[in-house]
Structure 1
Amino acid sequence: MMRFIDVTLGKWTRHLFFVLVRSYYALFYNVGASGKELLQQQPGTLILATHVSRHDGPLISAILYSTARVRPTVHYDEYHNWAQWFPMWVAGAVPMSSPKSWPEDRRGARKVETLGKIHTLLETGNSILLFPAGQVRRQPEEIVKPYLSGVHEILNAEPDTPVMLLRLGGLGQFQPAIYDLFWSFLGRTKGRRHVSLDLTPVVDLDPGMELEAFNAKLEQMLNS
């Protein structure tokens, strides 16, 4: 039943959200995307993105919407926030992690369930958007903490999963703010902020590495 709702009412609602969100970013941001055609030729891709602002998830999903079905991953608390749950559900977001107040066995079972869902989505041609750093950048560089294991476990279970790196530029607090003159006819000195999305295939991320070394390599790739 839920699948039927997703491919009928959910599909039309996603289109509506796409028009609204894409229109907003077209008005206030000048977005350029490089490499997204590669994603169209490679369904079931794990997209590892830099996390520079709270706009990242909706912006990436809106820009890639007409290229491939991208299912973002979000923190459990954000997914179940009453103000965000419906758009998250419509977008097909996958909640990650679980409340720390849960017993360890329950948290472990939830982790297994989440990873199983991600693998099912990848196998059926959906692409998964994941922010390896786990939170919005609070410093100039991405920091992937040594204990974060999501990417490592996904690729360990399915090492042949295609991986792409997505770097966001021009949007974050620690990135240069460059504007065009789109709104100059209204007398505003600032127009739309220039933002870049750069997608590149990843071929040298070995899930056989120890977790800490794997995360160090991933952090280096995100910051290069």
Structure 2
Amino acid sequence: MLAFLDATVGKWLRHFFFVLVRTYYALFYNVSCANKHLLQDQHGTLILATHVSRHDGPLISALLYSTMRIRPTVHYHEYYNWVQWFPMMVAGAIPMSSPKSWPEEKRKARKTQTLQAIRDSLARGDSLLLFPAGRVRRQEREIVEPYLSGVHDIIRAQPNTPLMLLKIDGLGQFQYAKHDLFWSFLGITKGRRHVSVTITPIEKLDTSMEREAFNAHLETLLND
């Protein structure tokens, strides 16, 4: 029943949200995307993205909407925020992590449930958007903390999962802001902000490495 609703009502709602979000970014941002076509025939891809602002999730989802089904992963608290829950549920977002106040056994069970949901989604051919740093960048470079295990666990469980690296430039607090003259007819000289998105394949990530070393390598990829 849930699958039927997702494929019918959910599909219409996703398209409605897509039109709203895409219109917003078209009006206030000048966005370009390189190599989007690489995702066209690459189903079940894990997309590892830099996280430079709170716009990243909706911007990427709207930008790639017509390419294939993209399911974002979000922090548990963000997913269950009453303001955000409905659009995230419609988008098929997968909540990750869990409240630290939970007992350890409950947190482990939640992690197992989340990884299974991710495996099922990838197996269906959906692509998954994940921010390895886990939070919006608060400094010039991405930092993947040694204790984070999401990417390592997913790839270790499904080593043949196609991987893509997605980098956003021009949107974050620590990135150069350049604007066009889209609104100049109103006398506004600072128009839409230029944002570039680049997608590149990742050949392989070695999960035989210790998690700390794996995260350090992933951090290097995100910042190069």
- Deviation of residue 208 (structure 1)? 1.4
**TM-score scaled by structure 1?**
0.99
Paired AA for residue 42 in structure 2: Q
* Structure-2 separation of matches of 1:146 and 1:68: 32
* Structure-2 separation of matches of 1:102 and 1:76: 12
2:141 is equivalent to residue 141 of structure 1: yes
* Structure-1 separation of matches of 2:40 and 2:115: 23
Give the secondary structure class of the aligned counterpart of 2:116.
helix
2:186 is equivalent to residue 186 of structure 1: yes
- Alpha-carbon RMSD: 0.6
Tell me which residue corresponds to 1:101. Answer: 101
Q: 1:19-168 residue pairs with structure 2 within 5 A?
A: 19-168=19-168
> 1:44-102: CA deviations, max 9, x gaps?
00000000000000000000000010000000000000000000001100000111111
Corresponding pairs, count: 224
* Structure-2 separation of matches of 1:209 and 1:40: 31
2:205 is equivalent to residue 200 of structure 1: no
Tell me which residue corresponds to 2:17. Answer: 17
**TM-score scaled by structure 2?**
0.99
- Deviation of residue 27 (structure 1)? 0.4
Which is worse superposed, 204-213 or 124-133? 204-213
Paired AA for residue 51 in structure 2: H
Unpaired stretches in structure 1, ≥5 consecutive residues: none
Give the secondary structure class of the aligned counterpart of 1:114.
helix
* Structure-2 separation of matches of 1:174 and 1:204: 29
* Structure-2 separation of matches of 1:163 and 1:71: 15
Tell me which residue corresponds to 1:210. Answer: 210
2:49/2:166 contact within 8 Å kept = yes
* Structure-2 separation of matches of 1:83 and 1:173: 24
Paired AA for residue 56 in structure 2: D
2:163/2:204 contact within 8 Å kept = no
Unpaired stretches in structure 2, ≥5 consecutive residues: none
2:144/2:216 contact within 8 Å kept = yes
> 1:3-52: CA deviations, max 9, x gaps?
11111111000000000000000000000001110011110000000000
- Deviation of residue 204 (structure 1)? 3.6
Paired AA for residue 147 in structure 1: Y
- Deviation of residue 207 (structure 1)? 1.4
> 1:89-141: CA deviations, max 9, x gaps?
01100000111111111110010000001011001100000000000000000
* Structure-2 separation of matches of 1:109 and 1:56: 29
> 1:136-160: CA deviations, max 9, x gaps?
0000000000010000000001111
- Deviation of residue 2 (structure 1)? 1.2
* Structure-2 separation of matches of 1:54 and 1:85: 16
